[in-house]
Amino acid sequence: MLKQLSTHIIQHLLAQNEWTAPMLQPFASQSVQLNFVLLKTSLVILENGSLSIAGETNLPDATITIPPSLLLRLIAKDESAKLQIKVDGDTHLATVLAKVLSHVRWDYEDDLSKLTGDVSASKIGEFTRQTASTVKDTATNLAEMLSEYWQEEKPLLAKKRHVEKFNTEVDTLRADVERMEKRLNKLTKKVSSTSDLNNPVS
Amino acid sequence: MNNMTTEHNTHFGFKTVAESEKAKKVADVFHSVASKYDLMNDVMSAGMHRGWKRFAVSISGVDRGDKVLDIAGGSGDLSKLFAQKVGAEGQVILTDINASMLGVGRDRMLDAGLNVPALQCDAEKLPFPDNYFDCVIVAFGLRNMTHKDRALAEMQRVLKVGGRLLVLEFSKVWQPLSKAYDVYSFKLLPLMGKLLAKDAESYQYLAESIRMHPDQETLKQMMIEAGLSKVDYYNLSAGVVALHKGYKT
């Protein structure tokens, strides 16, 4: 039941995003397993460029594993987080599918228009977008205000430039320690070889 | 001598009959149930057979312009769905070995204004060229075929390379539900057949033939032996029905 429903939702979304079919069609019959926290599911690419949930005995051609620690960074659209997604098997296939899944957008106005008509759907869509934008702006302002207060008025948070400076100092220290370690090793070898020469074994 | 006799026998529900008799007996069952087949399907499956068929169509990958063969298509539910998918530039052919069932399907296609040819033929000897169809589907028909291996080989033959065979069929239900399913199949189903279609025997056969049909893994193996690859299956409604999909490569 869940597979039927999930397949229906995925196919509905892809039908709304017609640009996805030509990208997926060259990979028809191949499948990709997605591992994300408790969610483990495989998607099969169909000949018409759509997707379905795989059956009980499917063997994936590629696997995409997203560690739970990346969740917040991915939501915040941190591009560097994407580099830490683990891909096994056919990487070209996995990359194309990941690109499709990350760019698919739900055209909720189109679905709503079938229930309420075009004009009402457009108005509701506009209202939703404005509300979402207001909520996002308010949240950003609040976060920036609190951040400023805790950095300037009552310092609890470190400033970005201080953190960067600290990181640079740590990097320099690490490099110095590595250099010193190498120098020590070199000296130790030199001392041991000198003592071998002074006390030759007969 | 006994072995030779066994080789020429087959199952008809729980009974063992000569191979030559099975087709006639199955035909009698479907002649008998044809007029009320859809009503009974709705009652027996609580309407779920429509969802199972829609799911089969959704994973078929069939696109506009494709050629689809609907084997044992009977009342034409699937042909109708596929005809909408392939559009005017595609082709769907509805076939059934049973004239009564095919008649119901043909009339329904005509009533819906769909150009779907209806052809009476045996799935074990398909009258189509090699490598012709993009998709072949058999829904609730394979279990009634005398030589399932031959039928699967024929379906594989008429598929194009890259074509898909879909088999939607009753299968082995999830173990914890098997007792309840037995009661339903052998007590309620014949009773419903008696009350609604005035034909308890035919529905008793339907229940028995489901039990004699290969389970999910066995059917998967049969499809592989018939030359299909990447065979996978979906358990629908806790395994009451399984949908197998295989590719010709």
Instruction: Per-residue pLDDT tens, chain A, 202 aa: give them.
Output: 778 888 889 999 998 998 999 999 999 999 999 988 778 899 999 999 999 999 999 999 999 998 887 777 777 777 777 778 888 999 999 999 988 888 888 888 888 888 888 888 888 888 998 998 899 889 888 988 888 888 888 777 787 788 889 989 999 999 999 999 999 999 999 998 888 777 765 5
CB atoms within 10 A of CB B78: 28
Contact B94, B82 (CB under 8 A): no
The C-alpha atoms of residue A13 and residue A3 are separated, in whole angstroms, by 15
Instruction: Considering only CA atoms, give the Rg of chain B.
Output: 17
User: A52: which chain B residues are within 8 Å (Cβ-Cβ)?
Assistant: 58-59
Q: A122-170: per-residue pLDDT in tens?
A: 888 889 989 988 998 898 889 888 888 888 887 777 877 888 899 899 9
Contact A14, A51 (CB under 8 A): yes
Structure confidence at residue B212 (pLDDT): 81
Q: Tell me whether residues A44 and B236 touch, CB distance under 8 A.
A: no
Provide the residue count of chain A. Answer: 202
| Chain Cα centroid distance, residue A139 | 22
Instruction: Give the mean pLDDT per block of 10 residues along chain B (249 residues).
Output: 53 70 70 69 80 94 95 91 94 92 90 92 94 96 90 96 94 88 82 77 78 90 95 93 95
With CA atoms as reference, report the closest residue to B170 among B194, B191, B197, B189.
B189
The residues pairing with A40 across neighbouring beta strands, listed in sequence order, are: A35
User: B232: which chain A residues are within 8 Å (Cβ-Cβ)?
Assistant: 44, 54-58
Structure confidence at residue B1 (pLDDT): 39
DSSP code string of B30-85: HHHHGGGHHHHHHHHHTTHHHHHHHHHHHHS---TT-EEEEET-TT-HHHHHHHHH
Instruction: Give the largest Cα separation in chain A, rounded.
Output: 102
Residue A99 Cα, gap to closest chain B Cα (Å): 21
pTM score: 0.77
User: B168: which chain A residues are within 8 Å (Cβ-Cβ)?
Assistant: none
ipTM of the shown complex: 0.79
Q: Tell me whether residues A54 and B51 touch, CB distance under 8 A.
A: no
Task: Choose among B59, B134, B235: nearest Cβ to A52.
Answer: B59
Contact B219, B233 (CB under 8 A): yes
SS (H, E, C) A45-78: ECCCCCEEECCCCCCCCEEEEECHHHHHHHHCCC
Q: Tell me whether residues B58 and A8 touch, CB distance under 8 A.
A: yes
Q: Tell me whether residues B233 and A44 touch, CB distance under 8 A.
A: no
Mutation pick from B66, B68, B234, B243 vs chain A, by most beta carbons of A within 10 Å, is B234
Instruction: Decide if B233 touches A, using CB distance below 8 A.
Output: yes
Q: What is the interface size between A and B, counted as CB pairs within 8 Å?
A: 50
| Chain Cα centroid distance, residue B15 | 20
Handedness of CA A60, A57, A21, A27 (dihedral sign): positive
